[in-house]
Amino acid sequence: MKKRFTKKQLDVMKVLWESATPMIASDIVRKDDALNINTVQACLRSLIANHSIKVADIVYSYAPVISRDEYFGNTCTDILGDGQKSALIASLIDTETDLDELEHLEEMIAQRKHILINGGN
């Protein structure tokens, strides 16, 4: 499921990803002052067409279908290719200043290693 969003579509998706519940177009506009209702409605139509969001209710509230992690993972792979992931990760680690975040990254790496070593168990 490879998707590339325009800048405005990504702005709309960020608002939807941050919301715990589906949102209507006017709610999205209220959350991001840089968006106007016409732009949001056009983005919502195109995001529905490429199956990135769905209509969640009869009042046309919208919810994401693709997760933030899935989108950014696919986008990074598209941009960098499979061989350059370590350069991206090294860059992120070099710029990280929060020790809790670094510990969280270490835990994620350890969990992934465990899954790969144990064949998904």
How far is it, in rounded angstroms, from Cα 89 to Cα 92?
5
Longest CA span, the chain: 51
CA 49 vs. chain centroid, Å, equals 18
Q: Is the model's pTM score more than 0.75?
A: no
Token pair of 66 as six digits: 């693709």
Name the DSSP letter for residue 4.
-
How far is it, in rounded angstroms, from Cα 64 to Cα 66?
6
Q: Could you report the per-residue pLDDT of 35-81, keeping only the tens digit for each? A: 999 999 999 999 999 999 999 877 788 899 989 888 887 777 777 77
Q: Could you report the per-residue pLDDT of 103-119, keeping only the tens digit for each? A: 988 898 899 888 888 88
How far is it, in rounded angstroms, from Cα 7 to Cα 42?
13
Asked if 11 contacts 32 with a C-beta cutoff of 8 angstroms, the reply is yes
Residue type present at position 60: Y
